[in-house]
């Protein structure tokens, strides 16, 4: 991987159910609710063009709704250091998720929040 593609998105809404109903009606998207994470997941559709998966959830700590784009990277620790070296600010430091993927959220110098994800390494079979 060399291009660091956007691979996931999240919408934090004041009312996730209402947002999901709107997106379902507008675009025909079929969400799957995950009770463990409380995220309405929109799975990526393999073989159907450049679409990527995403999720919608209700705000917990933030006051304003937001959209976050996740960029896939190979070495999240190195990239987190690079964010800071380039004048960015870590919002949520590198965190390991269940399953082994690692994420972090950061602000670029003007304050826009972005995220990075390093997928879990799958053992060779």
CATH number of residue 88's parent domain: 3.10.180.10
Quick one: 77 and 34 in the same domain?
no
Query: Partners of 122 in the beta sheet?
Result: none
> Average pLDDT in the 75-91 region?
95
What pTM was computed for the model?
0.81
Q: What is the pLDDT of residue 1?
A: 45
| CB contact at 8 A, 119 and 101 | yes
1 falls within a domain: no
Domain boundary (40, 64, 88) is at 64
Domain hosting residue 52, numbered range: 10-64
Rounded CA gap, 24 and 84, in Å?
Answer: 38
| Count of domains for the chain | 2
* pLDDT surpasses 90 at 121: no
pLDDT in tens, 8-31: 999 999 999 999 999 999 989 999
Mean pLDDT of the chain: 90
pLDDT of residue 44: 86
């Amino acid at each position: 991987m060399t291009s660091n593609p956007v691979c996931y998105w999240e919408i934090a809404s004041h009312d996730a159910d209402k947002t999901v109903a709107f997106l379902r009606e507008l675009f025909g998207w079929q969400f799957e609710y995950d009770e463990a994470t409380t995220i309405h997941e929109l799975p990526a559709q393999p073989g159907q063009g450049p679409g990527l998966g995403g999720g919608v959830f209700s705000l917990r700590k933030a006051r304003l709704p937001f959209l976050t784009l996740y960029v896939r990277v190979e070495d999240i620790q190195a990239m987190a250091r690079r964010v800071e070296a380039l004048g960015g600010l870590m919002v949520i430091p590198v965190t390991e998720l269940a399953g082994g993927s690692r994420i972090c959220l950061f602000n670029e110098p003007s304050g826009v929040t972005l995220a990075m994800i390093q997928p879990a390494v799958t053992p060779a079979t």
